[in-house]
Amino acid sequence: MEQKNANYGLGMTVIGSIFFIFGFATTFIITLSSKVKDIFELTEFKAQLLSFAFFITYFFISIPIGLYIKKIGYKSALIVGLLLMAAGSFLFFPAAKVPSFPLFLAATFVLASGVVFLQTAANPYVTALGSEESAGGRLNLVQALNSIATMVAPWIIAVFIFTGASDMLTSAQKAETVQIPFIIIGIIVVLVAIAIFLTKLPEVGGGSVQQRKSVWNYPHMLLGALGIFFYVGAEVGIGGLILGYLKSTMVMEPEVAGKYVAIYWGGAMVGRFFGSIMLSKMTILSKNNTYIALVLLLALLSGSFVTGWNWNIGLIFMAVAVCNLLVMQLGQGSAGRSLAVFALIAAALALVTAFTTGNVALWAVISIGMFNSIMFPNIFTLAVKDLDPGELSTASGIINTLIFGGAIIPLIMGKIADVSGYSWAFIVPAVCYLYIFFYAVKGSKFRSV
């Protein structure tokens, strides 16, 4: 039993670090679209091609990777993914040196290929590492670690890339500001790959497990994959346009707006830490009151820190976290019920963003991040429910393919922003969240005959 617990702890620790890494890289690229827009003097639609180049990768290679992982195993897949990420990171150095937008897109595609490897392997690994009943809690916990990274990335961009930027700089000078961050990312990722190579990870599932039927015969899995399409599209679209929205509607400086973007992503972090206890039976989280207090303290400190220790903003962010926790009680520990409630609230907040202005609109759009929090892990948990371990990697490949919603929805929002203004663009994610509500209430219950 002691050896089993040690293996479980090691597996969760390694996967937690993986979620942190690809969360950082993903959000770094999404937030960087605003900087790229400035460097190459692009429209919002063209700037969102950076997110398109990242997320379209899921469409092309998720299913082949899911099948390939069954042959090489999860550990090898993690190493390959990390090395691809490193290669993509290093490619940004010459892309910024030229500078060339097509090379930026190429580097993004390579980096994203590594992230697809990591995500396709990591999600089913976490699901299969313990009991099905606590799978939602485990996924929320590692997604919370992912979200710490998604909060740090926009803050780094705001502090180290936007700060001191001037319209007087040439495109080459502006592009050079992104070189060092990507070099650092590449070095860290290589070191993690070496560490995993030297580590013995617990095995789960495997290619030898016989599939009962084709995973394409599970309607709840396919509808869940479509839910992932709309969720990722909405989250990425909002994350990519917030900075432009705040700059245009509230006349914020980029470095100030960038810090609010960090709070948007930080909301997902806080909500997922809450989700890890509301949807889990893990004994390590049995002292809920202490854990909740620590998460609320994290909300206060993180909200204050990223805004230059503005405690008023930190307190507001903590108040939103309290509301998030109270609303989560309506889910009663059910992945489907919790998802339905959060999807409705996120849709309402997106509409408030579209039709109001000032601080109401500001905190509405920022708060969407907190209600995005449990969506990916809960949709994924519902989509793979009742599948055998041997079916998980294939199903994960199909589900991850639909992450390319992050390539399509931001382009649609970017085009609307160019033509009609940023506010109107937020109607699109509201529609996305309404589909997720349908999936939580009805679609997740469909089963093959």
Listed range (49-53, 96-100, 202-206) with the worst mean pLDDT = 202-206
**Exposed, middle or buried, 348 (CB in 10 Å: 0-12/13-18/19+)?**
middle
Mean pLDDT of 209-219: 68
Residue 202 DSSP class? P
Give the mean pLDDT of the chain. Answer: 83
Residue 73 has pLDDT above 90, yes or no: no
DSSP state at residue 384: S
Dihedral sign for Cα 281, 122, 430, 369, please.
positive
Give residue 1's pLDDT.
46
Residue 317 has pLDDT above 90, yes or no: yes
DSSP 350-383: HHHHHH--HHHHHHHHHHHHHHHTTHHHHHHHHH
CA distance 296 to 55: 32
Structure tokens at 10: 């090691």
User: How many residues would you count in the chain?
Assistant: 449
Check pLDDT > 50 for residue 220.
Answer: yes
In sequence order, the 6+-apart residues with CB closer than 8 A to the CB of 214 are none
pTM above 0.85, yes or no: no
Helices (H) and strands (E) in the chain, counts: 19, 0
Residue 150, judged by CB atoms within 10 A of its CB (0-12, 13-18, 19+), counts as buried
Q: Which of 11-15, 152-156, 199-203, 363-367 has the highest mean pLDDT?
A: 363-367
Q: How many Å apart are CA 332 and CA 395, to the nearest integer?
A: 27
Mean pLDDT value of segment 114-140: 73
Across the range 311-333, mean pLDDT stands at 90
Angle at 140 between CA 28 and CA 146, to 5 degrees: 20
Helices (H), 215-357: 219-249, 254-278, 288-305, 311-328, 335-355
Residue 420: burial class (beta carbons within 10 Å; 0-12, 13-18, 19+): exposed
* Least confident segment among 71-75, 392-396, 442-446: 392-396
Q: Which helix (H) or strand (E) holds 73?
A: none
Q: What is the pLDDT of residue 21?
A: 85
> What number is the average pLDDT over the span 385-410?
83
> How many structural domains is the chain composed of?
1
Alpha carbon 210 to its chain's center: 32
Residue 389 exposed, middle or buried by CB count within 10 Å (0-12, 13-18, 19+): middle
The predicted structure's pLDDT at residue 423: 94
3-state secondary structure at position 253:
coil
More confident residue, 440 or 253: 440
Q: What percent of the chain has pLDDT over 70?
A: 85
The pLDDT of residue 287: 52
Q: What is the pLDDT of residue 8?
A: 62
Predicted local distance difference test score (pLDDT) of residue 5: 53
The CATH number given to whatever domain includes residue 340 is 1.20.1250.20
Q: What is the mean pLDDT of residues 312-336?
A: 89
Q: Are 342 and 371 in contact (CB under 8 A)?
A: yes
Alpha carbon distance 244, 414 (integer Å) = 10
Rounded average pLDDT over 8-27: 79
Contact, 381 vs 335, CB < 8 A?
yes
Kindly list the distances between the CA atom of residue 91 and the CA atoms of 54, 80, 186, in Å, as whole numbers in the listed order. Answer: 14, 17, 10
Instruction: Tell me if residue 286 falls in helix, strand or coil.
Output: coil
- At residue 7, does pLDDT exceed 60? no
201 against 218, higher pLDDT: 218
Q: What is the mean pLDDT of residues 357-364?
A: 93
Look at residue 2 in the predicted model and tell me its pLDDT.
Answer: 47
The radius of gyration computed from the CA coordinates of the chain, to the nearest angstrom, equals 20
Query: Confidence band (pLDDT; 50, 70, 90) for 422?
Result: very high
Domain that includes residue 58, residue range: 2-445
**What are the φ and ψ backbone dihedral angles of 21, each rounded to 5 degrees?**
-65, -50
pLDDT over 90 for what percent of the chain? Answer: 38
Per-residue model confidence (pLDDT) at position 273? 82
Closest CA to 171 of 25, 42, 26: 42
Amino acid at 159: V
